[in-house]
Structure 1
Amino acid sequence: MLLSSFLLKLSEEVRARLEDLRGREREVKDKISALEKRLERARACGELAEKIRGGIEERRRRRLRDIADEALRVYGSLTSYTRSAGDS
């Protein structure tokens, strides 16, 4: 009788411990899931930031090229004007 009550009590303790561990496992899985979602959002934000950076860099390159082209046109018009004025 003493042995059976001991085993019954031990069995109840083991069940309680097992239930506690299952609860902790669920908590850990939930945290992992939340972290995976955050990581995915962070990756998406990183990709978006990279695209924005690339777009800004491309705009900057185009703007500098436009400025250089305009400077060459102005220089060309000034040199052709001076040549015309010098010829008269």
Structure 2
Amino acid sequence: MKRSLKTADLLVLLIVALSYDAGVVYRVGGAICSSFTGTNQCKFGPDNGCFQLCTIALKRPIVDANCVIDGDGTTSCQCKFNC
């Protein structure tokens, strides 16, 4: 018995697979995904160390990396990469 997957089935599988990547936020209809590292990690280097930290943490090419500070002063690196 052979089952062919429809485009909708593949899309559901892709979304489910991506949802297991903790802390990742996906922009609908776009090619850029964004993930956040652990807290209080951007404190060193010219870009607060985020670019290197994102590359190491995600093990993929990074498009952009920034230090993000939330309302209570907690910092984390926002890693942007091609989905």
TM-score, structure 2 as length reference: 0.24
- Flag the structure with higher strand content: 2
Higher helix proportion, which one? 1
TM-score, with normalisation over the residues of structure 1? 0.24
- When Rg is computed on C-alpha atoms for both structures, the one with the higher figure is 1
